[in-house]
Structure 1
Amino acid sequence: MELRRPARTELDAAGRLCVAAYEDFFTGAEDFYRDRVADVALRDREAEVWVAADGTTLLGCVTFCPPGSPWRELARDATEGEFRMLSVHPDVRGRGVGQALAALCEARAREHGATRMVLSSLPTMAAAHRVYARLGYTRCPHRDWDPVPGVHLIAFTKELT
């Protein structure tokens, strides 16, 4: 498995991968978040998109949100790193793809001087929560939040050493 930035020609495929990974969490065909998840090209312009690939096959995708990125939601300042929309294709779950992408984001955060990572997740994303726990993330309930009415996100944090 190779971790790298996606080629311009892979952005649409990365978007489809993200939608497939999130499919069980959308509220229906008209869920506003579906288009946001699919728009990897926009995230790549405004943040850093990274993919896990096996040759030309995309396995996973994540958005690292460096300081100054409009994609940062929880990170309060440059001492906190953040990633979003960690997505692993359903056919390759359980192979360490999510863990590798999360660890890559931690390394990127350290490069930017961060000493802590923060992220948020839907309460129903139990598989992702298990990945975060294996990586040393803990719940941070006082930073839970509601981005829009009817959507509650739970926060996780990890000290970077």
Structure 2
Amino acid sequence: MTGPTVRPATPADFAAVARLTVAAYEADGQLKGEHGYAEVLADVAARAAVGEVLVAVDPVTGAVLGSVTFVLPGTPYAELSGPGEAEFRMLAVDPAAQGLGTGVALVRACVDRATALGCSAVVICVRGGFAVSAHRLYQRMGFVRTPEKDWSPAPGVQLLGLRLELPVQS
């Protein structure tokens, strides 16, 4: 089987993206005690209006397997990125489709997009103590802990900053 295909999301994808994003975050335990974050995750149209929502689809069936939101500094969903950096948020893989290379394909698409835009790095944050498989994925792909990017959006929620340096464009 070939890996998933990554493409920009269309409005026809938004319901599937909303469902799988909330399901993935729930499966990882990241929505326990959260107030309102599931609604933010499910509002794909709002993300698409100010960032680039990408989907990974099964090349045979066309089913949406995962999604991610790619943003630049100064945009409403950017949390960590500074000048010259790109950021991605809300990476989610349908729990039923995990282990198929979907997360890797989505991260690569974001890195490729950042490279094409001439960015110097890609930054992300991950929730401390959760999504161990995501932490491993990012480490394998070259992201390194960047403690100065750590932050807390709410009491009891600690987000850890990660950064991937991109090759200098000539």
Q: Are residues 1:9 and 2:12 paired? A: yes
Matches within 5 A, 1:1-161: 1-23=4-26, 24-28=29-33, 31-54=35-58, 55-77=61-83, 79-123=84-128, 124-161=130-167
In 2, distance between residues paired with 1:142 and 1:66? 19
Q: CA deviation at 1:84?
A: 0.4
In 2, distance between residues paired with 1:31 and 1:14? 20
Letter in 2 for 1:134: R
The answer as to whether partners of 1:66 and 1:112 remain within 8 angstroms in 2 is: no
What TM-score, normalized to structure 1?
Answer: 0.93
Q: CA deviation at 1:31?
A: 2.8
Q: Tell me how many residue pairs correspond in the alignment.
A: 159
Name the stretch that deviates more: 96-105 or 59-68. 59-68
Q: C-alpha deviations, 1:66-102, integer Å up to 9, x for none?
A: 344211110011x111000100011111111001101
- Provide runs of 4+ in structure 1 moved above 3 Å: none
SS in 2 for 1:25: coil
Letter in 2 for 1:5: P
SS in 1 for 2:9: coil
In 1, distance between residues paired with 2:35 and 2:92? 17
Identity of aligned residues (%): 42
What TM-score, normalized to structure 2?
Answer: 0.89
Give the gaps of 5 or more residues in structure 2. none
Q: Aligned Cα RMSD in Å? A: 1.3
Letter in 2 for 1:141: P
